[in-house]
Structure 1
Amino acid sequence: MPTDVGKSVAIVGGGALGLLSALELARDGLQVCLIERGSTGREASWAGGGIVSPLYPWRYGQAVTALAHWSQDFYPQLGERLLAETGIDPEVHETGLYWLDLDDEADALAWAAREGRPLAPVAMDAVHAAVPPLGPGFGRAIYMSGVANVRNPRLTRALREALLRLPNVSLRENCAVRGFVRRDGCVLGVETDQGEVLADRVVLAAGAWSGELLGQLGLALPVEPVKGQMILFKCAADFLPAMVLAKGRYAIPRRDGHILVGSTLEHAGFDKTPTTDALESLKASAFELLPQLADAELVGHWAGLRPGSPEGIPFIGPVPGAEGLWLNCGHYRNGLVLAPASCRLLADLMLGREPIIDPAPYAPEGRLA
């Protein structure tokens, strides 16, 4: 029977949350089997922009803020350690972030004062001096220094490589989980299309697909797919020195001159098809923010599915009535920024350590139907 001192864990889902959960638990000595129905890091973790901040952090409650602040402080050392261990650089790129013409600027500044974050108004002539390609027509700006972005496809590649170097980790890709192995109300493992995988504990970190799996236990997890489309341009390496955000759309510079522009918010089930309407809308936003992008090479357009959840608060902890089953899912738009804290918190709870932050807001108990 699984117990809280079990030494083996099966993790369902190979995105950033599953990969980092596996790495945290494996480094703490557990025997880890990571199961992914496709290739690791190819769903929402690959499709997102990688801003190491919620887009509008003041619009979230304290539960999201606590995870975000811990993760933001941790990301630089995570990037350095992964580069040292694997030779793959996740490129934690600190640029700062400008918000333009916000309707709730006063709320943003009040939040920053309350939380001690370096967010302040900036005169528009100073913004144009700092970000020369910014388009005309914007009237107000606030800026937060220290905000980074991470090159998320490289982050997941680095996490995968770090796991493969550990002797107590097995990775099963292209292995779909069909259900749970149960006995006497306990979860003993998972049923896959390649047979049973037994473990003392199971962690469900399957993003937008987590609700479908948990539904097999008669539990309703309020996590649903929310489609987001992005486009990618290639510019000179020094084209855009900072991230900019206006009217719900953002531009993110990578170190090599790639510029991501996103994103849409669509409730379209599990459909990930990029659409012409979204492409034209994203291009219009891109050219308004950065008019010179009209002459740049458009090198990509894609869609991914975020795991939408009430108020964006993830589910982290044991599932009541299903001993042995744990959740780390439902991070909505903030999976990448919240991942380090979420996975450390999960490990703290599973290993009986003092948790890094109060775990109560994320507990599945009372939040599942």
Structure 2
Amino acid sequence: MTVVVGGGVIGLLSTYLLASAGQEVVLLEAGEAGREASWAGGGIVSPLYPWRYSPAVTALAHWSQDYYPQLGQTLLRQTGIDPEVYATGLYWLDLQDEDEALAWAERQGRALYPVPLEQVRAAVPALGDGFSRAVFMPGVANVRNPRLLAALREALQRMPNVRVVEHSPVGALIQEGRRVVGVRTAEGEWRGEQVVMAAGAWSAALLAPLGLELPVKPMKGQMILYKCAEDFLPSMVLAKRRYAIPRRDGHILVGSTLEDVGFDKAPTEDALESLKATAVELLPALANSEVVKHWAGLRPGSPDGVPYIGAVSGFDGLWLNCGHFRNGLVLAPASCQLLADLMLGRKPSIDPAPYAPGQRLGH
């Protein structure tokens, strides 16, 4: 049996892929599955500024972007819940490093090109006046992450070889010699041949008693939500590290902050006002709209945003899939496929070397 610790998108999808290959899996979640960072994010299926990341992040992002439409279709077919993978394209406005972005796109063979502002205004009539330049990447999708998480959870509920145990915080990993053989919870022990750590911002604290220093810490992000007409915002728009994301039914997400405040995830009035100002700068008509919802989540911040995926040397049976920082939803399909490939002894779909915990963990 495999024990997966953490029920965010990484834990849910890792469980789904391992179980689909015939593994017996128990997934343990401290709260409700899919209600932390994965639920709180915006769901853009691209890093905000993909050219600013290392090739390690780019490799996972491109694989995942290509895979998301079929994942959405498969989950809809299996569960009746539509994750709404919605290809709208993305406009970056007044990019400071536009030349670097265009050079990156040419090297990577990705469509990204400047567009005249009149063309942007024709495509996005609600856009504010305060912008002078734009670049566009067609085909970029967003996924309705709460529905993706609900679909994954429902898919797992239907699998006879999976058990999802919620409200069951893991207190400690169980070691026998140098082997990790399970986890301890308030209700008792869960033992397995493998333990997968996919607990996001909480992973470091669970690994620390083993003498492992995982440089992953919580980074708070706050978002707000509006409800508009279905055709109000046809494409995603991004300026000054803030973005507006349309859902198919007219909901508009505006985000997000980036705050280093530990495990405090209370929404704040300051952030609300800042996000509303961003919303009105991007889309002035939102000045007359009520904020439907305001929330916060804790991203698993990591150096350079490169996740830790693979076996932990010196600790047989322990595997990591954590530290995705701002890109958990973006990178989840590739990250979880890579983990499953490694755990099942298959040829990896992506070169595993950049993500191997190995020398990247402190002892």
Q: Report the TM-score, using the length of structure 1 for normalisation.
A: 0.98
**Alpha-carbon contact 1:82-1:158 (below 8 Å) kept:** yes
Match of 1:3 in 2: none
Match of 1:229 in 2: 222
Can you list the C-alpha shifts for 1:132-156, whole angstroms capped at 9, x where unaligned?
Answer: 0000020000000000000000000
- Separation (CA, whole Å) in 1 of partners of 2:312 and 2:186: 24
Among residues 292, 312, 325, which one is paired with 1:299 in the alignment?
Answer: 292
**Alpha-carbon contact 1:228-1:304 (below 8 Å) kept:** yes
Among residues 110, 114, 131, which one is paired with 2:107 in the alignment?
Answer: 114
Paired residue secondary structure (2:292)? strand
- Separation (CA, whole Å) in 1 of partners of 2:353 and 2:253: 35
Paired residue secondary structure (2:293)? strand
Match of 1:22 in 2: 15
Match of 1:80 in 2: 73
- Separation (CA, whole Å) in 2 of partners of 1:88 and 1:267: 35
Instruction: Report deviation, 1:232.
Output: 0.4
Match of 2:163 in 1: 170
The answer on 1:247 being equivalent to 2:217 is no
Match of 1:129 in 2: 122
Instruction: Tell me which amino acid in the other structure corresponds to 1:91.
Output: E
Match of 1:104 in 2: 97
Match of 2:82 in 1: 89
Count of residues in Structure 1 that have an aligned counterpart in Structure 2:
362
1:118-267 alignment, distance < 5 Å = 118-267=111-260
1:281-300 alignment, distance < 5 Å = 281-300=274-293
Match of 2:315 in 1: 322
Instruction: Tell me which amino acid in the other structure corresponds to 1:115.
Output: Q
Match of 2:264 in 1: 271
Paired residue secondary structure (1:21)? helix
Paired residue secondary structure (2:135)? strand
Match of 1:39 in 2: 32
Instruction: Report deviation, 1:297.
Output: 2.4
The runs of at least 4 consecutive aligned structure 1 residues that moved more than 3 Å come to none
**Alpha-carbon contact 1:235-1:297 (below 8 Å) kept:** no
Among residues 39, 42, 54, which one is paired with 2:47 in the alignment?
Answer: 54
- Separation (CA, whole Å) in 2 of partners of 1:182 and 1:130: 58
Instruction: Report deviation, 1:193.
Output: 1.1
Can you list the C-alpha shifts for 1:9-61, whole angstroms capped at 9, x where unaligned?
Answer: 00000000000000000000100000001100000000000000000000001
Instruction: Report deviation, 1:270.
Output: 0.2
- Separation (CA, whole Å) in 1 of partners of 2:222 and 2:51: 24
- Separation (CA, whole Å) in 1 of partners of 2:264 and 2:238: 26
Instruction: Tell me which amino acid in the other structure corresponds to 1:293.
Output: L
- Separation (CA, whole Å) in 1 of partners of 2:212 and 2:350: 27
The answer on 1:334 being equivalent to 2:324 is no
**Alpha-carbon contact 1:344-1:356 (below 8 Å) kept:** yes
Match of 2:62 in 1: 69
- Separation (CA, whole Å) in 2 of partners of 1:330 and 1:137: 36
- Separation (CA, whole Å) in 2 of partners of 1:315 and 1:32: 21
**Alpha-carbon contact 1:309-1:330 (below 8 Å) kept:** yes
Instruction: Report deviation, 1:197.
Output: 0.0
Instruction: Report deviation, 1:181.
Output: 1.2
Instruction: Report deviation, 1:329.
Output: 0.2
Can you list the C-alpha shifts for 1:75-97, whole angstroms capped at 9, x where unaligned?
Answer: 00000000000000000000000
Q: Runs of 5+ in structure 2 lacking a partner?
A: none
- Separation (CA, whole Å) in 2 of partners of 1:209 and 1:154: 23
Q: Report the TM-score, using the length of structure 2 for normalisation.
A: 0.99
Instruction: Tell me which amino acid in the other structure corresponds to 2:224.
Output: I
Instruction: Tell me which amino acid in the other structure corresponds to 2:151.
Output: A
- Separation (CA, whole Å) in 2 of partners of 1:47 and 1:193: 27
